[in-house]
Amino acid sequence: MTTTVSVLGSTGSIGTQTLDVIEHHEGRFSVMALAAGRCSDLLVAQVERWRPEIVVVASEPERDALAARIDRPVEVLVGPEGLAVAARSADVAVNAVMGFAGLPVTIAALAAGRRLALANKESLIAAAPVVARVRQTPGAQIVPVDSEHCAIHQCLPEAGRGEVRRLILTASGGPFRQASLEQLASITVAEALDHPTWSMGPKITIDSSTLMNKGLEVIEAQALFEVPIDQIDVVVHPQSIVHSMVEMVDGSTLAQLSAPDMRLPISYALGYPQRLDVAFGPLDLSGPMTLEFSPPDMERFACLGLAYEAGRVGGAAPAWMSAANEIAVEAFLAERLSWFGIAEVVAEAMERFVQRELDDVDAVLEADREARDVTRTILQGRMDA
Number of H-type helices and E-type strands within the chain: 17, 11
Do 137 and 188 have their domain in common?
A: no
Which residues are CB-contacts of 92 (< 8 A; sequence separation ≥ 6)? 3, 4, 5, 6, 114, 115, 116, 117, 269, 270
Q: Give the H/E segment covering residue 253.
A: strand 253-257
Q: Residue 53 has what pLDDT?
A: 97
Q: Contact, 147 vs 339, CB < 8 A?
A: no
Boundary residue ending a domain (285, 312, 339): 312
pLDDT in tens, 9-66: 999 999 999 999 999 999 999 999 999 999 999 999 999 999 999 999 999 999 999 9
User: The domain that contains 19 carries what CATH number?
Assistant: 3.40.50.720
278 pLDDT band, cuts 50/70/90, is very high
The phi and psi torsions of 71 (rounded to 5 degrees) equal -120, 35
Same domain, 170 and 256: yes
Query: In terms of domains, do 291 and 321 share one?
Result: no
pLDDT tens digits for 186-226?
888 888 887 666 556 788 889 988 999 999 999 999 999 98
**Shared-domain flag, residues 167 and 260:** yes
Decide which of 144, 173, 201 is a domain's last residue. 144
Look up residue 96 and give its amino acid.
A
pLDDT of residue 126: 86
What is the domain extent for residue 72?
A: 3-144
Give yes or no: residues 300 and 198 share one domain: yes
Contacts of residues 41-45 at CB distance under 8 Å and 24 or more positions apart, as own/partner, are 42/11, 42/16, 43/10, 43/11, 44/69, 44/70
Number of structural domains, the chain? 3
Domain boundary, last residue among 280, 312, 344: 312
Burial of 44 (C-beta count, 10 Å sphere; 0-12/13-18/19+): middle
Give yes or no: residues 178 and 294 share one domain. yes
Give the domain CATH number at 363.
1.10.1740.10
Are 304 and 360 in a shared domain?
Answer: no
277/196 same-domain check: yes
**In terms of domains, do 349 and 369 share one?**
yes
pLDDT value of residue 203: 83
163 and 110 together in one domain? no
122 and 81 part of one domain: yes
Quick one: 25 and 138 in the same domain? yes
Q: What average pLDDT is seen over the chain?
A: 92
Task: Give tens-digit pLDDT for 69-107.
Answer: 998 899 999 999 999 999 999 999 999 998 778 999 999
